[in-house]
Amino acid sequence: MQTVLKTRAERVPTRGAGELPLLKAVKGAILTPETSGIWRMSVKFNLRAAAALAFACVALSAAAQALTQSDINQIVEAARYNTPRYERDYKGRTFIGIGTFVGINLSSRNISVAFDNSLGCRERASCGSTPPMAYCSDHGLKSEVVADWTQRTRLRIEGMIVDVNTVTSNLSLKSCKITAG
């Protein structure tokens, strides 16, 4: 015996005394009884819609897992003492931070951004230690844009973690997006 659903809120009879409400059933679903009397639902679905849904779930998942400057200490500790954990949990993940422009190296095109350290200072001269930084060379910014930045310019940097310097607590990023603001 097969029952084909025609609407989303159709109730499907079971072998028992009651009915099984399928309030969220997909139109066109086919129900077939198993030998044990339990209903199994085989759903015909649109592959394009399923792919779009899967892509949206992955995009939301990746955004939810982005690391920030508050995670730098954990990233450095893992890279320093537990390399397998660093590679599993941090390397290749997206990092997003808001910091202060430090400078640009003309030969490597590395832009460096410093983040507030635990003391909350932004100026190197007033810090007891150098604040953690992120470096990125493949940012796609034109030198005319960077020329207007000063060492007080606040930047938002987003990129994928490729390396960590465990001595200086600096992150190397690739595929970066850097915006002033």
- Return the CATH fold of 69-180: OB fold (Dihydrolipoamide Acetyltransferase, E2P) (2.40.50)
Predicted pLDDT at 60: 46
Paired strand residues for 33: 39
Q: What is the 8-class DSSP label of residue 82?
A: -
Residue 45 CA to residue 53 CA, distance in Å, equals: 12
Q: Where are the domains of the chain?
A: 3-64, 69-180
The pTM assigned to this predicted structure is 0.60
Predicted pLDDT at 106: 78
In the chain, DSSP assigns E strands to 3-4, 11-13, 19-21, 30-33, 39-42, 94-104, 111-114, 133-136, 154-165, 170-180
Two tokens, residue 179: 């915006």
Predicted pLDDT at 1: 53
Predicted pLDDT at 72: 92
Residue burial 50-64, b: 16+ Cβ < 10 Å; e: rest: eeeeeeeeeeeeeee
Count Cβ atoms below 10 Å from residue 149 Cβ, excluding itself.
Answer: 19
Predicted pLDDT at 99: 94
Please give the chain's pLDDT, 181 residues, in tens: 555 545 544 444 545 444 444 433 444 545 555 444 444 444 444 555 555 555 555 444 544 589 998 999 999 999 999 999 999 999 999 999 999 999 998 788 899 999 976 434 444 444 446 789 999 988 888 888 889 999 999 999 999 999 999 998 899 999 999 999 8
